[in-house]
Structure 1
Amino acid sequence: MRATALAAVAAAALAVGACATPTAYGPAQGRGVGGYSETRLESDRYRVTFAGNSVTSREQVEMGLLLRAAELTVGDGYDWFATVNRATDRDTRLVGRPDPFAYDRYSPYWSPFWRYYHRGYWRPFDPWGPDIDYRQIDRYEASAEIIMGRGPKPAGDPNAFDAREVIQNLSGRVPRRPM
């Protein structure tokens, strides 16, 4: 019995811990999970996206996008890529939750028995209103249309990247999914 309870607590801790980690680099696994996805538009052109969860920073999402673009470029036999259209969207929402400790029944300042009479009914009255904790949740998704080329990258183009250099510089900074 005790081993079963301990196993249930451990499973719950792992589930909660998994929710509190940034999106790892890997293919997107359904809606809301995060990761990269790509669509080939032409032989040398892709649309690439990388979506993070609520604890993935904007910087991590953008690095995931660039790393995936570089991997596609090298995988298709090209040397550099340039971003044609690039955007990072932020989805923000506020989540409110009543404070579980707001209404202490032993508090001298609030009584659950305070009422007022309105339109024929006695209604509960709280002079301070509900105590609600608000939290802002941000989710980022980066997308870019890339075009790939061979040879040295175009000089002076700030949107052009050497694919092998990007892989070398970002591979260690982007956490990967376990295989």
Structure 2
Amino acid sequence: MNGPSDARGDYSSQRIEADRYRVSFAGNSMTERQPVETYLLYRAAELARQQGYDWFEEVHRDTENTGRTVVDRPFGPGAYGWWGPSWRYFGTGFGWRNWSPWYGDPFFGDTLDVRTINKYEATAEIVMHRGAKPAGNARAFDAADVLRTLGPDIRTPSQR
């Protein structure tokens, strides 16, 4: 397996047979799904040309979201585990209310910071071929054409 790692993400490629490779590109938490899939396709075309092939076929392709949901709380665990301060108070016109730094009081607009962090990884198994790309195969890509078409949108680590 080989490939660089950079601020945008990293890629790897693994030779399976003489003309078959597994290629992957993993974005970081700032990279959307579409650029991850574009970088994967570009890397597959780049690899095909480096190995002396004219076109490649995607035998299998998958994009996975390995994201997570994060809840930011203003306070961490107390001295006795997850015990922490909370208050009960009587609000005029509201009756008895509870307040805790872990949960806040939604009645007064207190909310926790809940956010989802997406991290996409695209993987493809490709088979490389020489000669003219067959017409009518949606999984077949002309490597030179992919490099020419996607190239202007690709930023390598040396261009950052």
State the TM-score, normalizing by the size of structure 2: 0.74
In the alignment, which residue of structure 1 is the partner of 2:40? 65
Structure-to-structure mapping, 1:1-179, within 5 angstroms: 27-29=3-5, 34-98=9-73, 114=87, 127-129=98-100, 130-131=103-104, 132-178=112-158
The alignment yields a C-alpha RMSD, in angstroms, of 2.8
Give every structure 1 segment of 4 or more consecutive aligned residues whose post-TM-superposition deviation is greater than 3 Å: 112-116
SS in 1 for 2:119: strand
Separation (CA, whole Å) in 1 of partners of 2:99 and 2:62: 44
2:45 and 2:144 in contact (8 A); partners too: yes
Aligned in 2, Cα 1:114/1:150: closer, same or farther, shift over 3 Å?
closer
User: What are the ranges of 5 or more consecutive residues in structure 1 without an aligned counterpart?
Assistant: 1-25, 101-111, 117-125
Q: How many residues get paired?
A: 134
Aligned counterparts of 1:138 and 1:71: Cα–Cα separation in 2: 27
Query: Normalised by the size of structure 1, how large is the TM-score?
Result: 0.67
Whole-angstrom distance in 1 between the partners of 2:138 and 2:125: 15
Maintained 8 Å contact 2:36/2:121: yes
Q: Percent identity?
A: 48
